[in-house]
Chains A and B, each alone.
Chain A
Amino acid sequence: MIKTENLSHLYSEGTPFQTTAIEDINIHIPKGDYVGVIGHTGSGKSTLIAHFNAILKPTSGKIFIDGQDLWSADKKTRIQTRFDVGLVFQYPEHQLFEETVYKDISFGPKNMGLPEYEIHKRVDKALDFVGLDRALLDKSPFDLSGGQKRRVAIAGVMALEPKVLILDEPAAGLDPRGRDEILSRIRDYHRETKSTVLLVSHSMEDVSRNANSILVMNKGRCVMHDSVPAVFERAEDLVGMGLDVPKITRVFISLREKGYPVSPNVYTVEQGKDELMKLLRKGGEAND
């Protein structure tokens, strides 16, 4: 679905402020995958995803969307890419601008040139995905609560019915309830539409609970891209990069270092409990 070849991007190229944002990225994200993108601030995550819907042009290297080389294609193809790859920025509620919720969500589909009935259908569907009440459609988005505004903004991108949905920290600033709600809506969307989803996050816990695979960015390079368990297998490396691995992962890494035969690959409380119960039962049998 998304493929990059030696993708690099320099900011302020040719000036004294030139900085390398991403360097030599070679990744392949298959259709229908749910990828968590992690890395700390300045690691190049946002620069990378901005290439996927042609907002940024690579300094060198190539990007293929559905096998199509984005920058050797004509402009029309790139415009189509903006509809095919939906990007939800951080704090997307700051970008609401229409008079009503309906107008805001329908802005994208309208620009795609869809007929009125189709726009209507898409707004309806997007509203369901984000769990917003239809009674809000005629309201001004600015009269809504923070959590509702965020959902309107996400619905606006979902209404494009993109083949790839990319969300940059969709849960930032929300309370635990709001975070769980948004993430479960995105999970439903992924399951039902079979689209490819990229979730950019600082939280390893959120990523491990939602994604199938993880892409780790560090200092502008893609240093890992593998299934969730395979990435957590290298939890020590993640700690070394200054990433916050879940507390429970740290507990199990330490237990293993102390010589206990537990999996180092534990990142949820459920897995942790199962590992410990297995071990305790074994101990119980040995004593019998």
Chain B
Amino acid sequence: MPKIISISKLNYAYPAEEGKAPHPALHDVSLEIEEGEFIAILGHNGCGKSTLAKHLNGILKADSGEVTVFGMNAADEEKVLEIRKNVGMVFQNPDNQIIATVVDEDVAFALENLGVPYPEMVERVNEALEWVGMTAYRRHAPHMLSGGQKQRIAIAGILAMKPKCIVLDEPTAMLDPQGRKEVMKTLLRLNREIGVTVILITHYMDEAVQADRVVVMGEGEVVLDGTPKEVFQNVGLLHSLSLDVPQTAELMYALRQEDIKVPIAVLSVEECLDELEKQLGGIGK
């Protein structure tokens, strides 16, 4: 798969407040992202993950190093519009992202600004609503919807621009478990069925384990980068970064401390059962 985003030795510090030193947020971050990947980015608050995300579509500009997005320099003022058509962003609070009073008008907002002809606009809006499963709500008022539904409308608004990549900054943090599942299902579907590259910033392990690749950040640097299985091997390190580890991996880790030979990166209930049965081998049955 072709590389669509390439970050090399990116450094960024937030400008100094009066009488204070600049606040460094990213330190020599290098990362390559291929088309069609589903990447989860983990890290505690203040580790630089949102700062990193904001470099991907030109909201922030690197102090040093380079961010190349679809062959364009993300810091190039003239390319910003083109980049934003390709890389859409969804933020945490659904209420801050909805502008219109009717769902389909909200989804059409960016297209109107881009001057997309009406018939095409209608088609794109319908398609986007279909993808997020909100067609039935197209004439509804957004403020009457649940958090998960609102977030799916925000995703549809981005989808209507037909981006190749969507970056989501903790889109599920304010949702209930039901809403979280809805959003996650939508993202997986977009990724698997139309090949949209998804970069998902999250605190939830059950979301991260569903990604193809997990990037863990700590204090402005990339600490771990690999498949969920590779990353969740490192239970001790993840603890030291105050991150959660899936309970099944925690259990395996605890058993390992007792000299029981089990693999650590066990991420689902089914897998965990299999491993335990191997160990127990029918004891007590």
* A interface, CB within 8 angstroms of B: 40-41, 91, 145-147, 172-178, 180, 202, 205, 242, 244, 246-248, 250-251, 254-255, 258-261, 269-270, 272-273, 276-277, 279-280, 282-283, 286
- Known A282-B283, A283-B283: A247·B247 in contact at CB below 8 Å: yes
Chain A contacts for B280, CB-based, 8 A: 255, 260, 276, 279-280, 283
Q: In the bound complex, how far is the Cα of B279 from the Cα of A255, in angstroms?
A: 12
For residue B173, which residue of chain A has the nearest CB? A173
Tell me if A280 and B279 are in contact (CB < 8 A): yes
Looking at the assembled complex, report how far the CB atom of B257 sits from the nearest CB atom of chain A, in whole angstroms.
8
Bound Cα distance A146, B173 (Å): 13
20 A–B contacts, CB within 8 A, in A order = A41-B176, A147-B45, A172-B173, A173-B170, A173-B173, A175-B44, A175-B45, A176-B243, A176-B244, A177-B44, A202-B177, A205-B247, A247-B246, A250-B269, A251-B276, A270-B254, A273-B254, A276-B279, A280-B279, A283-B280
Supply 8 further A-B pairs (C-beta < 8 A) apart from A258-B273, A280-B260. Answer: A41-B146, A173-B92, A248-B248, A251-B248, A251-B269, A269-B254, A270-B254, A283-B283
Taken residue by residue from 261 to 285, chain B's Cβ proximity to chain A (1 for < 8 Å, 0 otherwise) reads as 0000000010011001101110111
Main secondary structure of the interface of B (DSSP, over half): loop
**Docked complex Cα distance between A272 and B177 (Å):** 24
Q: Which residues of B are interface residues toward A (Cβ below 8 A)?
A: 44-45, 92, 146, 170, 173-174, 176-179, 203, 242-244, 246-248, 250-251, 254-255, 258, 260, 269, 272-273, 276-277, 279-281, 283-285
Instruction: State how many angstroms separate the Cβ of B206 from the closest Cβ of chain A.
Output: 8
Q: In the complex the two chains form, is A246's CB within 8 Å of B247's CB?
A: yes
Q: Which residue of B lies closest to A258 (CB)?
A: B277
Task: Please measure, in the bound complex, the distance between the C-alpha atom of A229 and the C-alpha atom of B81, giving whole angstroms.
Answer: 56
The prevalent SS among residues of A at the interface is helix
Q: What chain B residues lie within 8 Å of A254 (beta carbons)? A: 269, 273
Bound Cα distance A259, B248 (Å): 20
Q: With the chains together, A173 CA to B170 CA distance in Å? A: 9
- Residue of A at shortest CB range from B242? A177
A175 to B173: give the CA distance in the assembly, Å. 9
